[in-house]
Amino acid sequence: MKKVNGEGILKALISKGFLSQVPKSELDVTIAQVQQVRDPRSISNIIFALRVDEFISESAPKIYKLNLSKVPEYAEQRTLSEVIEV
């Protein structure tokens, strides 16, 4: 299996409007697009790698929390928007 592009997967999810959490179904679709894989076992292995590398964490069954600090340009934007909202 080729190297997991965690940053690319997070950027693709952010571009789809997912800024904090993503359902597993959408995560699967995005992984298939970015990593160009279709096999469910490969997708599961990539999700495992994303969890180990702390790009995502499971917040509820089939719901994953995104770690935007792994994508610096988005982490800065998120922090600024949180400050402005307060």
**Mean pLDDT within 6-14:** 96
Q: Which domains does the chain have, with CATH numbers?
A: 6-85 (1.10.10)
pLDDT digits (tens, 9 = 90+) for 26-63: 999 999 999 999 999 999 999 999 999 999 999 999 99
**Residue 1 banded pLDDT, cuts 50, 70, 90:** low
How confident is the model over 19-28, as a mean pLDDT? 97
Q: What is the dihedral of CA 58, 6, 14, 83, to 10 degrees?
A: 80
